[in-house]
Amino acid sequence: MRTFVDTNIVLYAYDRSEPEKSAIAREIMSDLWRTRQGLLSTQVLQELYVNLARKLRVVVPRSKARALVGRYGRWAVHTITTGDILEAAELEQRLSLSFWDALIVVAAVRGGAERIISEDFQHGRTIAGVRVENPFRR
């Protein structure tokens, strides 16, 4: 099943400060590497680099952050377009989402994803035909 992965899930795979979330994220990412069903967007790759290189509790060297972005660039990656931005702006207004979350939804839809894995959306919600799953819900 084509799965869009939000930045927070990718980051948890490398952030050992929350061991339980890290283990869950590593398992998800490993499964998506194996099945080749993972989907990202240029937005996620940008956020990944910035957060790895600047915002984690233990910052990753920029060279490693660049290497990880390059590695994930081998996945299916949806390139954000002007049309995506305009559609996200409409979704933001219509569904009361943040603009950035709306852009994630648009990228997932355009990339053919059936689900989005993220901790930032309501678990179980379907948005624009894509189901949201929060793997950390209790």
Q: What is the mean pLDDT of the chain?
A: 94
Q: What is the pTM of this model?
A: 0.93
7-14: average pLDDT: 94
Q: What is the pLDDT of residues 86-106, one digit of tens each?
A: 999 999 999 999 999 999 999
Per the listing, tokens 């207004």 go with 93
pLDDT score of 58 more than 70: no
Q: What fold, for 3-133? A: Rossmann fold (3.40.50)
Checking if the pLDDT of 57 tops 70, the result is no
Dihedral angle sign, alpha carbons of residues 14, 29, 25, 134: positive
